Structure 1
Amino acid sequence: MKIRRCIYGAVLYVGILLLFACENDLRKVEQISAKKMLVPVDKSTGVEIIYSDSSIVKAKLITPELLNFKTEKPYIEMNKGVTVIFYDPYQQESSRVKADYAIRRERENIVELKRNVVVTNIKGETFKSEELIWDETKKRFYSNRLVSITSNQNILYGTSFWANEDFSYYEIVQSTGDLRLTGEQGF
């Protein structure tokens, strides 16, 4: 009987402690959540940005909406799609990159292109992947996701690849595919 009273007393004591320990001031909770949600962001629509070096146009970026987040690690997000056109020194289009989504991490000089990424180059080759990373410092693209490359009647597949900015040179890892060689290309 004494043990039962001790157990009931202990349970009652713990219950009272928990009841008073779990009290929240709703105003404080709202203030904290409002502070976390306030991120300075600039929104631009119908954006066209020209990248140039020494007055020579290198690339043009086109996006319907650009969100510029001004955080500790600033980044730009293009969640309604993006097209980047690269130009050769003669101002002719050398390659074109399209994606449904892109994010540029400003401090790292990295652009991540995601979902339905399609690249075309001057040779008429088409590169497709679900993700493509553009390293602006190294001036190259790479992907660690599956990629397909179509040219003429040939289709190559790979588990990853890298390419220079105009996609005139690329390397594929673990490539497979259907190649049709003409007499000039044969062994």
Structure 2
Amino acid sequence: MKRNIGTLFSGLHVLPSVILAVAIVITACTEEKTDVIHREVDGNSVPTMTTYNVVTLISDSGVTRYRITAPLWLVFDEAEEPQWRFPEGMFLEKFDDKFSAEATIVCDSATYFKNKGLWRLDGDVNVLNTLNEKFLSQQIFWDQRSRKVYSDSFIHIEKSDRIIEGYGFNSNERMTTYSINKPSGIFPVSDFKGRRDSTAGADSVRPVSETPAPVAAGKATEAKSVPVNSARPLRKAGAKPLRPQSPKLEKNVMLDQATLRTDTFVKKK
């Protein structure tokens, strides 16, 4: 009898080890394997955010300064040089302290370099200031830190009484005080009336590859010039307007000292 009891307890000592071994085998069989794939993403070509039909409010020191309307907004925060891109055009309004528009900008494409606070506007760039003066060029830079606007490209300026053309200009960001680096001509507005080509867009400009007329020191040279509106338009015929009409998605974004914060999304019918 004692022998049988000893044998029984001896078997009980082995039982926990057997149960543990069986549990390990069952767990190993039922545990799912997860394969982790590490994929490198090029921050220069893959955007961290994509937004369609956006209306964006941008503030500086808590005051709303700009409103951007664009069909497509790409944010590249992981790029070597962080930037925003508006490849399908942009309409920008700049406001004063009373939320009145100081200037408006329309362009075929735009890039904003965040670390530099620099805008590069490309294509048919059309700027309108508070004096109702129009500036047309193929490329314009806007440095928000220095509050300067400049370009090395051909510039066409339409004032109330005359047209000014040249190559390269510098201006304040309100586009009210400016100078042309190489003026090529000053023309009365009457010279341009009745000479508009119906096939040319209102904001088309001549190619920047044209050679400017010689300029006398301190005085612009009166030179013959093809009206800016007679040039071949850069936009394709039938292209959609740069200012989106009744955007489907409205996104309000407040930017304060390079800090981006999304406030609201409003779905419009």
Q: Same fold (TM over 0.5)?
A: yes
Specify the alignment match of 2:149 in structure 1: 141
In structure 2, give the amino acid aligned to 1:59.
Y
Corresponding residue SS for 1:107: coil
Instruction: Give 1 or 2: higher strand fraction.
Output: 1
Question: Runs ≥4 in structure 1, deviation > 3 angstroms?
Answer: 34-40
Specify the alignment match of 1:56 in structure 2: 63
Q: Report the alpha carbon displacement of residue 58 of structure 1 after superposing the two structures with TM.
A: 1.4
Q: Which moved more, 1:103-112 or 1:142-151?
A: 103-112
Corresponding residue SS for 2:145: coil
Q: Report the alpha carbon displacement of residue 57 of structure 1 after superposing the two structures with TM.
A: 1.8
Q: Report the alpha carbon displacement of residue 127 of structure 1 after superposing the two structures with TM.
A: 0.1
Specify the alignment match of 1:184 in structure 2: none
Q: Deviations over 1:36-65 (max 9, x none)?
A: 767541111122221223432211111110
2: CA distance, partners of 1:62 / 1:76: 13
Specify the alignment match of 2:92 in structure 1: 84
Specify the alignment match of 1:153 in structure 2: 161
Q: 1:170 aligns with which of 155, 173, 178?
A: 178
Corresponding residue SS for 1:146: strand
Does 1:43 find its partner at 2:50?
A: yes
2: CA distance, partners of 1:57 / 1:67: 22
Map residues 96-135 of structure 1 onto 2, 5 A cutoff. Answer: 96-135=104-143
Specify the alignment match of 1:26 in structure 2: none
Across the two proteins, how many residue pairs are aligned to each other? Answer: 147
Corresponding residue SS for 1:71: coil
Q: Report the alpha carbon displacement of residue 143 of structure 1 after superposing the two structures with TM.
A: 0.4
2: CA distance, partners of 1:111 / 1:54: 19
Instruction: Give 1 or 2: higher helix fraction.
Output: 1
**Larger C-alpha radius of gyration, 1 or 2?**
2
The TM-score with structure 1 as length reference comes to: 0.72
List runs of 5+ in structure 2 lacking aligned partners.
1-38, 190-269
2: CA distance, partners of 1:76 / 1:37: 16
Q: Which moved more, 1:108-117 or 1:46-55?
A: 46-55
Higher RCO by CA contacts (8 Å cutoff, separation 6 or greater): 2
Does 1:68 find its partner at 2:75?
A: yes
Q: Deviations over 1:70-125 (max 9, x none)?
A: 22221111001001101122211111011000111122211110000000011110
1: CA distance, partners of 2:116 / 2:153: 21
1: CA distance, partners of 2:147 / 2:41: 36
